Amino acid sequence: MTSVELVDDGSGGTVVMMDGHPQSHVQLDDPRLIVFEYVQFLAALLDALPEGPLVVTHVGGAGLTLPRYLAHTRPGSPQVVLEPDADLTQAVRDQLPLPRGHRIRVRPVDGRSGLRALAESSADVVVVDAFAGGRVPAELVTTPWFTDVRRVLRPGGLLLMNTADEPNRRHLARLHASISEVLPHTAAVATSEVRKGRRFGNTVLAASAQPLPLEAMTRRIAMTAFSATLLHGPQLTRSLGSAQPFGDEDAQASPEPPVVDRWRVR
């Protein structure tokens, strides 16, 4: 059973802890204030899309940080969140209520079966930010999974995926290979330390069946509070090296994160 704890960060925000790992940070009085770097990257890539409401499917919910951000920055956006942990969702709803007028629906299903139930071409964006025990589940890294993601995306729709890997980035390389088999236009964002293989950390992948708005994405990433680089095309492929995509028969969860004795926002 998942252990859930909501912790006051001492600065007006709340950290959602799952199984001892910080999963989300929520600032109720200002949904635009995002603390975790990878959530800033996800938000920046969404900001690079044309103005107006977006139809978004989120795989993984936790504190609903990104859905809150979108509800604030793109009012009227219909959002579906696939989050299998109903107890987590209830705790978040009770202690961190959603804003009035939101169009966020949380469904208590896992990502794979939840996405399978969605209609073809029903989402502008699919955001995959799902972790169990600090690891991306194996069923969310395979080519068959991303084939279903493409089915749900509208023409030109965007996949955004958060993952984490060791400094050698071999899991990331295989994940990227799985995605690019289905959605060939790809980009990746990470802090300099993670990109250069100096530490374990998060990378956000973006992918589409059509060319990405790379200029706008690069500009938005440069506006975040972190030193980060957007790699794409041959540069990204060279950075990761060759790798075999994951199939359902050999899928692996992302590596376990290092043990953290104490976590703080700043």
Query: Of 182, 172, 183, which Cα lies nearest the Cα of 236?
Result: 172
Residue corresponding to tokens 């989402």: 123
What is residue 206's predicted lDDT score, i.e. its pLDDT? 98
* Residue 264 covered by a domain: no
Alpha-carbon distances, residue 94 vs 89, 119, 183 (angstroms): 9, 30, 38
Overall average pLDDT of the 127-141 stretch? 93
* Residue 77 covered by a domain: yes
Please give the Cα distance from 32 to 66 (Å, whole number).
9
Tokens of 214: 């790379």
Please give the residue range of the domain that contains residue 124: 8-240
Query: pLDDT band at 264, cuts 50/70/90?
Result: very low
pLDDT in tens, 84-93: 988 888 888 8
Tokens of 44: 């920046």
Alpha-carbon distances, residue 25 vs 18, 240, 245 (angstroms): 12, 30, 32
Please give the Cα distance from 167 to 265 (Å, whole number).
23
What is residue 27's predicted lDDT score, i.e. its pLDDT? 86
* Residue 213 covered by a domain: yes
* Residue 23 covered by a domain: yes
pTM: 0.92
When divided into structural domains, the chain yields a total of 1
What is residue 133's predicted lDDT score, i.e. its pLDDT? 81
What is residue 95's predicted lDDT score, i.e. its pLDDT? 84
Domain CATH number, residue 128 = 3.40.50.150
